[in-house]
Amino acid sequence: MRLFHACAIALTVLAPGAALAASAEHGKAMFILHGCWQCHGTQGQGSIATSGGKRLAPNPLPWEAFSGFVRSTNRAMPPYSEKILSDGDLADIYAYLQSIPKPPDVNGITLLK
């Protein structure tokens, strides 16, 4: 959690929307600030709160589908308008999600056998 506090503090330095083109680090801070982590988990792994565990990472949806969804979804996820989440910040969130590595192979995890 300390890590995420550090990100939250960084927000006070980086004004939301400050165009740091496709910065995964800033994207992570925005992912926290805008509450994506609340339902999707800090690594976009999904949860009971994302309709059957929909995942954002690794391999997020193509950008158009991704951004289109965030802006205009009208179902279980509350949409984010540009008024509260700028295109730049959303692009950074996308970069953060792209930077998340694949999980270990499930067949190699003893506890999941």
Partner 1 sequence: MAREESQIKFNRRKFLAGVAIAGAAGAAAPPAARAATTALTPGTTPRPSALRPSAAVAANETATPPAMAKSEGVPASDFMVDVIKSLDIKYMPCNPADSFRGLHESLINYGGNKSPEFLTCTHEEAAVAMAHGYFKIAGKPLMVCVHGTVGLQHAAMAIYNAWCDRVPVIVVGGNDLDASKRAPGVPTFHSAQDISSLVRDFTKWDDQPVSLPHFAQSFVRAYKLAMTPPHEPVMIALDAALQESTTLDRAKLTIPRYVPTSPPQGDGNAVREAARLLANAERPVIVVDKCARTENGVKLLVELAEALQAPVIDQKGRMNFPNTHYLSQNARGRALLGQADVILGLELSDYWGTVNGWIDNGDDDGSGLQESHVKPNAKLISISSILLNTKANYQDFQRFQVVDVEMAADAEATLPALIEAVKQALPANQRAAVEARGGGLKKAWSETRDRTRQAASYAWDASPISTARMAMEVYAQIKDLDWSSVGGDRQFSAWPTRLWPMDKHYHHIGGPGGYGVGYGLPAAVGAALANRDAGRFSVSFQPDGDLMYSPGALWTAARHKIPLLTVMHNNRGYHQETMHVQRMSNRRNRVAYLGKDLGPLGTRIENPDIDYAKLASALGVYSAGPITEPNELAPALKKAVQAVKAGEPALVDVVTQPR
Q: List interacting residues with ligand HEC (CB under 6 A).
A: 34-36, 38-40, 49-51, 54, 56, 61, 66, 69-70, 73, 75-78, 80, 85, 93
Q: What are phi and psi of 101, to 5 degrees?
A: -75, 160
- Told to check if 74 binds partner 1 by CB under 8 A, we report yes
CA distance 58 to 55: 8
Tell me which of partner 1, ligand HEC, none is bound by residue 93, counting a contact when its beta carbon lies within the kind-specific cut-off of 5 to 8 angstroms: ligand HEC
| Other Cβ atoms closer than 10 A to 83 | 6
Tell me which of partner 1, ligand HEC, none is bound by residue 54, counting a contact when its beta carbon lies within the kind-specific cut-off of 5 to 8 angstroms: ligand HEC
Q: Report, in angstroms and rounded to the nearest whole number, the Rg of the chain calculated over CA atoms.
A: 15
Of residues 94, 69, 83, 80, the one with CA closest to residue 17: 83
Tell me which of partner 1, ligand HEC, none is bound by residue 69, counting a contact when its beta carbon lies within the kind-specific cut-off of 5 to 8 angstroms: ligand HEC
- Beta strands (DSSP E) in the chain are none
Q: How far is the CB of 88 from partner 1 (least distance, A)?
A: 15
- Told to check if 68 binds partner 1 by CB under 8 A, we report no
